[in-house]
Structure 1
Amino acid sequence: MKWFSRQKIKNKYPRRSLLLLAASACLLLASGCEGNGNSAQGSTTGSAPAAVSASPAAAQTPAATEAPATPSPAASATPDPISRKLAGMTLEEKIGQMLLVGIQGKTAGAEARKMIAEDKVGGIILYSNNVGNLKELVQLTNALKQSNAGNPAPLFMSVDQEGGKVSRLPDDYATFPSNAAVGSGDNAAAAGTMGELLARAVKSSGFNMDFAPVLDINSNPDNPVIGDRSFGSSAELVTRLGIAEMQGLEREGVIPVVKHYPGHGDTSVDSHLELPVINKTEAQLAELEWLPFQAAIREKADAVMVAHILYPKLDPDKPASLSQVIIGQQLRGQMGYDGVVITDDLTMGAIVKNYSLPAAAVDTVLAGSDILLVAHEYKNEQAVRTALLDSVKNGKISESRIDESVYRILALKAKYQLTDEAVSLPDLAGLNSDIQAWRKPFIRK
């Protein structure tokens, strides 16, 4: 049985009316899928956590000093199904939902199964070193989902499948050209088709989330990490094609994650290795880097990945991914973003060479992040999980702050009707034919 009502949530979840929430709750209760709502810990109430629909200023306040939400009588009388789901979760289950982790090897090993079954992580990311042939990949994604049986919500099964040099799928799939090649065609419809084809490809092997599109503007020719991963050097082009790709992924039922806010296109350092520093002001970012992300927010982007870049003129102490100024005040406050915020991998050199990983985990949650990407090593997942649990228990992070993030996560999983159902070994003939026909204009002779 599905973990959640099969009713499709068509509107952006924090903005739904109480009437729709009440109707959803009725459908859910009628389906018999909902767990007991009486085992909640901490400050969970019968309504959605306040900051999900509260004014952006709430994101600027350190979580430990936030006042508990005061639900309206109507919301308390008819709690929405996501709040009911949240109310039935333990603190450990909530923290687990905020972790999206990498695994070792091409099979679901003991550590991977422990992170899912015991730590109840909310998602998995696979990289090239996890991917064998098509049959091996499908077996892996199915095994990981099977390990999630009995947990509160289905897994985010995620992958970086951009096209060009950032391609994780097996050789069984027809290849996708780089974003730069697609950008040279200056065709938003083609970018939208690209999103649809990417979604069909990743979905066929068991994924439901793609870390794409790239909304970085390739404004620095010396950039070692973006380059042809960007649609181009024009904000207008990147915005138009990036939004089209995002919407194409959405149409095919795969969650797009736009990246890398506030913009990685002007860096001269690879954040996988070191911490990039950009000495731009807020006004300068607003004139270029922010434009594609602001457009994505207007188009109700489901998820935004935040980069590990230090902006000393905005926050001299913490990179964007850990900064209350950049996430809380700017992204959530000024831009009004109320969707899911995901960090870039916290085990990258930009973080671990300059900050304590446990402290970084706490800082990013206080700043307003919902999902912490911990892409490498079981010990790192353990350190992050322990740091978050301890921070709630010692009062540095309030449980109501955790509830805000988990509400957003559960709502996103519900919106896309995620399940842990196994996928069959796909026949790729039709998909590969479609990819090959679409890519012809972008393949250089």
Structure 2
Amino acid sequence: MQFLRRTGLVLLWLAAPLLAFAAANKNDPYLVPLRGAGNIALVAASIMIVILLLRRGRWRTIAGKLLVMFWCLPPVLMSAAHLKYELRKNEVLGASAAEARQLGPHFMVGYSSFPEVARLARLGLIGGIYVTRHNIRGRTVEALRAEIEALQDVRRAAGLPPLVVAADQEGGIVGHLAPPLTKVPALATLAGLAPDEQQAKAEEFGRIHGRELAGLGVNLNLAPVLDLKPPQRRNRLDFHTLIGQRAIATDPSVVSTIASAYVRGLEESGVGATLKHFPGIGRVRTDTHHFSANLDTPVRELETTDWLPFREVLSHSRSALMVGHVTLTAVDPDRATSHSKRVVDGIIRETWGYQGMVMTDDLVMGAIYQNDVCKAVVEAINAGVDMLLVAYDGAQFYRVFACALEGSRQGGLDAAMLHASAARLERGFPTEQARAASGAIHLVETSPSRTGGSPARGETRIRSR
């Protein structure tokens, strides 16, 4: 019995700092499972343990007093974290109409609470929403469709442009709305077919996704994946990127053929495609959901391999381009592509001439969020990124938007970049209104880029009509 009591006491000493840490960081994305009922359970457990320690007379000794104080910390730290969150939220919700008009269109947010996201939509603090499995779990397609329509009604009533409504339906292991939507095989399953069959099947997959997403009210699909399939197994700790299962093929021409056909099928229903994850993560072994990652391949080699599918599909579609949180060390060794002006403005805009919508991968991913997220947000906007995605944990929107708000108020945002981005978004939203005003993308001759050097002979640029 004495041994059990001592063991229990040791466990209490070990558990106290862990729970205190969890309480102080209750709003961290890694602790999403503790939100709501988990937070209540943590506070209730702390209070019960304090009462138990007091009844056992632990307060009489110095060590006992310290232990009781440790177990008093979780409720206090959780209250402080919640207060900080509410203050930041109120700051964002209190942004002026001018600030909302300037910054709001550049943010896309995932959500769990309809009233909360409806308020953001009405105030113009967001330009898009991201729907995923928790938005459809336990519900009918009709219920989610009505919810999306209601949000678009909120926008119309407020005199604001329609929301971009995005989903993540790649096929295969990534189909966050399937079921109840149709579960389509991965595009990689088509790589072994003859070219004609590849195109026919891929276009069919695109039509299925496009028809069902458009019927739901979704107008942008975060697909297809254009990263080249890695020739070797990735890091054993890669639990989320799993690009080996999501990439189409190792051959750029096969990727281009299949992806182009898929995008055609998708666009037939008025749903836009998103090509991802530039500059490519097939060669990267680190999972950017959790860690920073470097792509050390020379640009000349990437241009003739990994980047061929991106340029080919962009040249024949209205697709958006998603930039990932991989650092292209040959161009900008100090920051990830998602907030690198040398890459976004230098390569994508200037060298390639692409003037469509560029969006970030989820800013809640560890490669960005665990570093200086405020610096990344400001740099992304100044780099010419059009849409900043906050998908996995929508509650982080307030932190991310507050970063942009602070940057704006301190004069840290590039007005010319914001103006150019606003123009791109206005003509590039994949909605009925925007489709009527926007055309396809075509290739034109290039000129030397601002970032130095002349393009190779025969190189082309991609531009929106």
Uncovered stretches (5+) of structure 1, i.e. residues with no partner: 1-88, 420-445
- Superimposed CA distance per residue, residues 206-250 of structure 1 (whole angstroms, 9 cap, x where no aligned partner): 211101111111034324421231211111100111111112211
Q: Which has the higher helix share?
A: 2
Equivalent residue, structure 1, for 2:401: 385
Is this contact kept in 2: 1:92–1:389, CA < 8 A?
Answer: no
Deviation at 1:302, TM superposition (A): 3.1
Query: More deviation in 208-217 or 221-230?
Result: 221-230
- The alpha-carbon deviation at position 378 of structure 1 amounts to 4.7
- SS of the aligned residue for 2:146 comes to helix
Report the CA distance between 1:167 and its aligned residue: 0.6
CA distance in 2, matches of 1:270, 1:258: 19
- Determine helix, strand or coil for the equivalent of 2:433: coil
The question of 1:319 aligning with 2:336 is answered yes
Query: Displacement of 1:276 after TM fit?
Result: 2.1
Alignment of 1:120 onto 2:125: yes
Q: Secondary structure at the match of 1:90?
A: helix
Identify which of 273, 283, 287 aligns with 2:304: 287
Q: Which residue of 1 aligns with 2:19?
A: none
Matched, 1:404 2:420: yes
Matching residue of 1:332: 349
Find out whether 1:168 has 2:176 as its counterpart.
yes
- Secondary structure, in 3 states, of the residue corresponding to 1:417? helix
Residue deviations 1:398-417 (CA, integer Å, cap 9, x gap): 33321211111111137642
Question: Deviation per CA, 1:165-224, whole angstroms, max 9, x where unpaired?
Answer: 111224233310011112232411221222121100111112111011111110343244
Output the CA distance in 2 between the equivalents of 1:253 and 1:113. 24
Alignment counterpart, residue 349 of structure 1, candidates 361, 366, 377: 366
Q: Aligned residue for 2:203?
A: 192
Aligned residue number for residue 383 of structure 2: 367
Say which SS state the counterpart of residue 174 (structure 1) adopts.
Answer: coil
Aligned to 1:136: 143
Q: Structure 2 stretches of 5 or more lacking a match?
A: 1-96, 436-465
Q: Give the whole-Å Cα distance in 1 for the aligned partners of 2:406 and 2:331.
A: 29
Mapped contact 1:323–1:364 kept (Cα < 8 A): yes
Choose between structure 1 and 2 for higher RCO, CA contacts under 8 A separated by at least 6 residues. Answer: 1
Q: CA RMSD in A?
A: 2.1
Kindly tell me the number of residue pairs found equivalent between the two proteins: 327
Letter in 2 for 1:266: R
Give the partner amino acid of 1:366.
Answer: N
Give the 3 Å change call, closer, same or farther, for CA 414–174 of structure 1 in structure 2: closer
Seen in structure 2, the aligned counterparts of structure 1 residues 236 and 414 have a Cα distance that, compared at 3 Å, is: closer
Matched-pair contact (CA < 8 Å) for 1:246–1:258: no
Alignment of 1:23-422 (within 5 A): 90-104=98-112, 108=114, 110-132=115-137, 133-148=140-155, 149-186=157-194, 187-223=198-234, 224=238, 225-353=242-370, 355-413=371-429, 416-417=432-433
Name the CA shift for 1:415/1:141 in 2 (closer, same or farther; >3 Å).
Answer: closer
d(CA) in 2 for partners of 1:91, 1:400: 16
**Post-superposition CA distance 1:114-137 (Å, at most 9, x none):** 221224311000121222232332
* In structure 1, C-alpha distance between the alignment counterparts of 2:142 and 2:319, rounded to whole Å: 30
- Alignment correspondent of 1:39: none
Q: Tell me how far apart the structure 1 counterparts of residues 381 and 352 of structure 2 sit (CA, whole Å).
A: 19
Q: Normalized against structure 1, the TM-score is what?
A: 0.69
Q: Percent identity?
A: 28
Structure having the higher Rg: 2
Residue 263 of structure 1: how far off its partner (Å): 1.1
